[in-house]
Structure 1
Amino acid sequence: MALPALAADDDAALQHHLLLLPADVGHDEVEVLATSRFPRATWETPPTTARPRGRGQHPDPGVLRLSRHSTLVGPFTIDPGTASALGIPTSAALAYVLHAPVERGDAPWPGTGDRDGLARAFANGLPVRDEERSVGWLVAAARRLGGAVRVAATGGSPGALLVPDPAAAVDLTVWTDIWLEPDAALSVVRRAVPRAELNLPGTAWAGPPAGIGERPARGAEDLDDELRRRLHAAADDHDIATLTAPPPMNAYGCLADLGVDGMLAVEVGGETTLPPVIAAVPWASQGAVAYRVRWEPADLEEHNAERPGPEHRVARARAGELVVAVARLVHVAVGGEITDEMGFVVDPEDL
């Protein structure tokens, strides 16, 4: 396959952020992930594998328009010398160059979680606006495709290499137009996690305390006894009507205590603000029901660390298996689409 090569002394390699990917990742996969986050993403110049006709010529790279201000140019091949000069992992065989405005805001707060390494890479000012959206997508795509991101030393940033761990993305969401009642959802979840229990909104109400309506309340001393009793009787009638015919439930959850591994939560609710990849599905034009299967680790500090310790990784692996099992079962029950933690669609057969 003939592709243009990335040169270590090229200004594009030095002054722009790079998405670095393994050799087996096709540009069509990159396009799918781009349209998942940027609905209008399109190839302005499709990548070509045709060999150039003239000696010394190189094929033109593709240009993928992400937004009005940002494009992704590539793929480029990376030879060992370029990889060494740029500090790129040897596993990276392909590179895409992000052309985006340099827009920086405040420096990250010290001591906050930095799972993606962005606070380390942008120590003097985090990206904002279009650069924030574009860099966030680069990291998400690298995590999904087993790649890395080389942050350019521009805008006061020291530059850095980000290698997001794919295993850190545990949570899954099932999107559908089918609503399961709480007991039905619990039975589905319990097939994978028998210890799961319902977590319903609200608490039982035992009624007003004794004596209400029999004595004046502060600020209502001028009411006579008969009017006070009628007002409280009307309020009681309204409360009884509400309790006997409550409004439809629009959210609930299931929880499972995993002991030292934390908690597994399934959050169910209707949503009208949808990720672009789900909003484009015809049945979701008026909204969708989201079944969010989430892992809540015991140590949140470790969860938000760029390189967590071995105990956390072991717990994450065990919990991740349960998250996948629950998401599969929910998808079998309600159909629809599954997205990962980055908002990209996941084929159920790939789980």
Structure 2
Amino acid sequence: MSQSQVDLPGDLDGRHVLVVPRGTDVVALAAAWFPDAAWERPPVSRAEAAATARPMTGARFRGIVTEEVAPAPGSLRLDASASLEGPTTLARPEAQAAGLIPQDVDLYAVVPSDEDDAPDLAHGWMSAAARRTAGAIVPADRARLVVPDPGSAVDLTLWSPVPLSAQDALPLVRPAMTGARVGPTDVPQSQQPGDGPAPFSVTGTFEYDGSITVRTGRSREVPVALSRLDWREYGPWSYHVSWHPPDPEELRSEHPSQLHLIARSRVQPSVARVAAALWRAVGGTVVDGGGFVVPADELRDRSTAGR
């Protein structure tokens, strides 16, 4: 979704800007896509600057004048092609006056290493991060405010050290999947004979809302977001829970129909309940469609939404 012209502080001119709710952990968001993401220069907030103020020395100051460290944005390295500079903070009135989402926000500008080479991965990450946080993106030309739909990331994948057979999985997922049936999986596998139970899929259909499918498999590659976790918190066995709406083309539409949105709202809790049931059975870590870790509390909230 996009809105009209926005007006940001001048020191962000010429940059694509990520807008997130105040206090968002942008390092965690960056680490989900960029394994080496880290502050090259940590930001200094107004509160931190005030805390570091110290008395000036010398008799003529008489101990009453302080030298303050100025607040300053930080520089967060994403990869060799780009870094993120920020945050620039705006209170709700300022954000609303600028044409942004009406709440306290942090602004982060993408700074490419080569000004002539647009960092495509960084821009893709911005879209995913804005969707994940219910934030927004302001392109460099400031012509519009782009607000990715947070609800469009429906699918979830559990990565676990424990494999399940189709016979064991079916009773776990069936309560949230109407008429669930076991079938083969068409996901390419790196599995070798003797590695565990054969991969499978389970599909449940809904009269008006499409279907949900769970596909299992084993992979030597896992999402970047898992790389900073303890190895015991995930594994190579994937349980991908996906929604297939009545009209699949609507998944790619910037403005899906009202019928699609209604179906999505009814199905999303079921997707989360399936992932939660599997997680309770085999442990591991859930990752959403944007590549971000979904904590247990969030998974519970998604499962109970609409009840």
For normalisation by structure 1, the TM-score amounts to 0.69
More strand by share: 2
CA displacement 1:195-224 (0-9 Å, x = unmatched): 11001259xxxxxxxxxxxxxxxxxxxxxx
| Separation of aligned partners in 2, 1:89 and 1:73 | 20
Contact 1:70 1:134 in 2 (8 A): yes
**1:321 CA drift (Å):** 1.1
| Separation of aligned partners in 1, 2:246 and 2:8 | 44
Gaps of 5+ in 2: 1-6, 54-65, 187-192, 300-307
State the AA in 2 paired with 1:273: E
SS in 2 for 1:195: coil
Question: Does residue 1:132 correspond to 2:120, yes or no?
Answer: yes
| Separation of aligned partners in 1, 2:195 and 2:85 | 52
SS in 2 for 1:37: coil
Question: Does residue 1:147 correspond to 2:95, yes or no?
Answer: no
| Separation of aligned partners in 2, 1:145 and 1:298 | 27
SS in 1 for 2:168: helix
Among 183, 189, 203, the alignment partner of 2:173 is: 189
- What is the RMSD computed on CA atoms of the aligned residues? 3.0
Percent identical residues: 33
Contact 1:175 1:336 in 2 (8 A): yes
Provide the residue aligned with 1:74 in structure 2: 86
| Separation of aligned partners in 1, 2:201 and 2:262 | 26
Distance 1:92 1:21, change over 3 A: farther
Provide the residue aligned with 2:252 in structure 1: 304
CA displacement 1:11-65 (0-9 Å, x = unmatched): x422001011223x34xx1111111110100011112222365799841111111
State the AA in 1 paired with 2:85: V
Contact 1:272 1:286 in 2 (8 A): no
Contact 2:183 2:202 in 1 (8 A): yes
**1:79 CA drift (Å):** 5.7
SS in 2 for 1:189: helix
**1:260 CA drift (Å):** 1.8
Distance 1:48 1:345, change over 3 A: same
State the AA in 2 paired with 1:330: L
Distance 1:160 1:337, change over 3 A: same
Distance 1:250 1:283, change over 3 A: farther
Contact 1:19 1:150 in 2 (8 A): yes
Provide the residue aligned with 1:47 in structure 2: 43
Any residues of structure 2 matched to 1:111-260 within 5 Å, and which?
131-153=119-141, 159-201=143-185, 250-260=198-208
SS in 2 for 1:15: coil
Distance 1:31 1:286, change over 3 A: closer
Distance 1:149 1:9, change over 3 A: closer
Provide the residue aligned with 2:213 in structure 1: 265
- Corresponding pairs, count: 270
State the AA in 1 paired with 2:14: Q
| Separation of aligned partners in 1, 2:177 and 2:160 | 22
SS in 2 for 1:260: coil
Provide the residue aligned with 1:328 in structure 2: 276
**1:168 CA drift (Å):** 1.0
| Separation of aligned partners in 1, 2:185 and 2:38 | 43
Whose radius of gyration is greater, 1 or 2? 1
State the AA in 1 paired with 2:214: V
Distance 1:84 1:193, change over 3 A: closer
SS in 1 for 2:124: helix
Provide the residue aligned with 2:12 in structure 1: 13
| Separation of aligned partners in 2, 1:197 and 1:340 | 24
| Separation of aligned partners in 1, 2:93 and 2:228 | 43
Distance 1:285 1:159, change over 3 A: same
For normalisation by structure 2, the TM-score amounts to 0.78
Distance 1:296 1:77, change over 3 A: same
